[in-house]
Amino acid sequence: MFQPFKDLYHWADVQGHRIPAVPRNLGITALFLCAAYWVSGILIGHTGGENNSALVFVLAVALISLLTSGYFYGIAASIIGALFINIYFMEPYDAFSLSRTGYPVAMLSMVAISCVVCALTARVKKQATEAVRRERNAKVLYEQNEKLNAEKAAIQLQSDRTAIRETILRAVSHDLRTPLTSISGAVSVLLSSPEVSPKNVAMLNDIKQDADSLIVMVENLLSVTRVQDGTLPLKKREEMLEEVAGDALLTTRRRFPDCHVELDLSEDILYLPMDPLLVKQVIVNLLENAIRHSGDTEHIALRLYREGDQAVVEVQDRGRGLSPDVCQAVQAGQPMPRSLSGDSTRGMGIGLSVCQNIIKAHGGSFTAVNHPEGGAVVRFGLPMEEDRP
């Protein structure tokens, strides 16, 4: 029944708010004062001496206060309304007079009541505006809370998936390490037997090489999962980096006796806090990657030197170099791309991921770039002094 009036009011409100505030408020004030004057003129013609114009102007002031902003227009309308009543609707008509008994009190009462109505109306409008603002803020907070809950659930799901994957990798690695070690040991025993034919010796050497490679891969898988989930705490102690690198070089030469690795040591003694077993594993991984995947086994160099407050270990070869995906992943500190698969790159991604995580746990830096003259240069730096709180 009242829907057309509501639609009309809504349309008028939208159209009215397109007008600037001051002209709109002045227009509303003038409109309702003129309407009150017109209605009071009609009433006085029918009621004679009985004057109801004060009530009409109080209603006009209330509506002006409701439809305008602030207190000014309502208070101004109350004063103007009081003057209109005194001049046009009280004896002597068409003249301002306070000489009759009760006129001053009536005017002051009219202004006071109008001001009170104006203040109350403005307070109600302010409370309504505040309620709308709070409702809007509550809606925004609710949406943000829902978004945060969704993100939290996604993070938790990803964390659970990562934990499950690492648990599976750890379990599989443990199960593979024992039989692979047994295979490598059994092949070593067979190779030491004089009854093995040269043809079988070549086959046994291939088996031992593959078994040793798988053992290294399994050890890398165990290390990367333990470092990531924090179950492999660093056992740091002061060590000479030259000794750790020399031990890693001996291990590499035992596995690859036909490969040549040049060792270049710094004039400075690099004595720093580290976990020697894990740092050795990093150096061994880098050397094996250079031997297996670079295509160059004659020009591999292992260099140790000091740069600022870091001890740097660098492995360089003159082979085919690293792919852009590998360089970009190392630069961004991200896991190696999954495209690293196949015989030519087997274990490379896992080995570099292990190296990155171990060096990161030491608070060091890790980079991998291609040399301008060919080949790859992989280096990592370890802080010479441990940070203490």
Mind listing the pLDDT tens digit for each residue in 324-337? Answer: 877 877 776 666 65
Q: Which residue in 180, 170, 255, 184 sits closest to 221, CA to CA?
A: 170
- Higher-confidence residue of 183 and 286: namely 286
Interval 367-385 mean pLDDT: 88
Beta-bridge partner residues of 306: 311
The pLDDT of 357-379, averaged and rounded, is 87
Percentage of the chain exceeding pLDDT 70: 71
pLDDT surpasses 90 at 95: no
pLDDT by residue (tens digit) across 335-344?
665 555 444 4
Q: 102-106, 197-201, 340-344 — which is least confidently predicted? A: 340-344
pLDDT higher at 69 or 157? 157
Examine the pLDDT at 51 and tell me if it is beyond 70.
Answer: no
Domain definitions of the chain by residue range: 3-145, 236-383
Higher pLDDT, 21 or 263: 263
pLDDT of res. 227 = 60
Q: Which fold does the domain 236-383 belong to in CATH?
A: Heat Shock Protein 90 (3.30.565)
- HEC states along the chain? CCHHHHHHHHHHHHHHCCCCHHHHHHHHHHHHHHHHHHHHHHHHHHHCCCCCHHHHHHHHHHHHHHHCCCCHHHHHHHHHHHHHHHHHCCCCCCCCCCCCCCHHHHHHHHHHHHHHHHHHHHHHHHHHHHHHHHHHHHHHHHHHHHHHHHHHHHHHHHHHHHHHHHHHHHHHHHHHHHHHHHHHHHHHHHHCCCCCCHHHHHHHHHHHHHHHHHHHHHHHHHHHHHHHHCCCCCCCEEEEHHHHHHHHHHHHHHHCCCCCEEEECCCCCCEEEECHHHHHHHHHHHHHHHHHHCCCCCCEEEEEEEECCEEEEEEECCCCCCCHHHHHHHHHCCCCCCCCCCHHHCCHHHHHHHHHHHHHHCCCEEEEEECCCCCEEEEEEEECCCCCC
Q: Distance between CA atoms of 336 and 14, rounded to whole angstroms?
A: 59
Give mean pLDDT, residues 50-77. 75
| Between 214 and 132, the higher pLDDT residue | 132
